[in-house]
Amino acid sequence: MKDNIIIKIRELTKKYGDFTAVNNLNLEIYEGEVFGLLGPNGAGKTTTLLMLLGLTEPTKGVAEVNGYDATKETLQVKRIVGYLPDHVGFYEDMTGRENLRFIGQLNGLDHYTIEERIERLLERVKLLDVGDKKVGAYSRGMKQRLGIADILMKEPKIIILDEPTLGLDPEGVKEMLDLIMELSKKDNRTILISSHLLHQIQKICDRVGIFVKGNLLAKGPIETLGEKVFSDEPLTLEIEILPLDDRVKKLLNSINGITDIKIIEGKIIIQSHEEVRKDLVKVLSQNDYEIRYLKQRGRELDDIYSRYFAGKE
């Protein structure tokens, strides 16, 4: 990931009467990264994307895409951004190849460039063998991959994907995520993904932002996000060791950061306000204890999901 900021959002707000869909959003996205805008349905993610694309005007604030004002310089933004909505639309009585040819013509490409790109892109999204079949016969996963080929016809610098894995079977999800990763790492394109499917999208993101009720609650790399979301709550460790004897509590109390130790049904439950797993494993190993099981609760993705994505606040 490079240090160049390619999308800059400042105090972006969208209101519909008394309802605030997006509230004072501040965000920077870097060139070449995959950024996941994650949140429940109705959180304001799609509204944010539409403002970035210049398809709806903000009530307040500014969104810049590669230096262009998304509201005032919409045409310049559209030239460098490819957008795949959550329900991609094609002419279903036309073939995949014909749909791509039409898109190439709309983008002012010459005949040779269009035909060369069609062949290359159909192969890249693994649709070369069905390129001459009507899109109405395509599965949802095939349409999604054709959608990627569609936006690549104009060679965009930035790709915005709204719920790209929604409704796909496990194999379709894997194919889509692999393709997105390739677009980022191989092509060095910037990818912005909006999704409520945290467990799918988090696998490929360099950074994510948690978006709930129009507010960006936290942002950062996956491995540090839990620390931000649950910064005021203790970490909880569950651990099973052999032997479970009388001296283990004394050993564990010697580790800085541990605030509480309980033994319940053969498990040791430890609370702390900082990461202690490394020191804990070291102390137990040096004193000849065998660690049978260790799990940290409180700041994992499952906990983030339970708090925000399952509607628990």
**Ordered structural domains, the chain, with CATH:** 5-224 (3.40.50.300), 234-297 (3.30.70.100)
Q: What is the mean pLDDT of the chain?
A: 90
How far is it, in rounded angstroms, from Cα 308 to Cα 313?
A: 6
Which residues partner with 212 through β-bridges? 215
Query: In this predicted structure, what is the pLDDT of residue 301?
Result: 62
Spatial CA neighbour of 197 closest among 42, 36, 23: 36
Query: In this predicted structure, what is the pLDDT of residue 302?
Result: 64
Query: In this predicted structure, what is the pLDDT of residue 81?
Result: 97
Which stretches of the chain drop beneath a pLDDT of 70?
Answer: 1-2, 229, 298-303, 305, 307-313
How far is it, in rounded angstroms, from Cα 35 to Cα 25?
A: 15
Residues sharing a CB contact under 8 Å with residue 291, sequence separation 6 or more, in sequence order: 239, 240, 241, 281, 284, 285
**93: buried, middle or exposed (CB in 10 Å: 19+, 13-18, 0-12)?**
exposed
Query: In this predicted structure, what is the pLDDT of residue 305?
Result: 65
What predicted TM-score, i.e. pTM, was given to this entire model? 0.80
Q: Are strands 60-65 and 81-84 parallel, antiparallel or unpaired?
A: unpaired
Q: Which residue has tokens 């467990």?
A: 199
Question: Is 166 in contact with 133 (CB distance < 8 Å)?
Answer: no
Query: In this predicted structure, what is the pLDDT of residue 87?
Result: 85
Which residues partner with 158 through β-bridges? 81, 190
**129: buried, middle or exposed (CB in 10 Å: 19+, 13-18, 0-12)?**
exposed
Q: Which residue has tokens 């945290």?
A: 198
Question: Is 37 in contact with 193 (CB distance < 8 Å)?
Answer: yes
Query: In this predicted structure, what is the pLDDT of residue 3?
Result: 74
Residue type, 65: V
Residues sharing a CB contact under 8 Å with residue 292, sequence separation 6 or more, in sequence order: 240, 241, 242
Query: In this predicted structure, what is the pLDDT of residue 312?
Result: 42
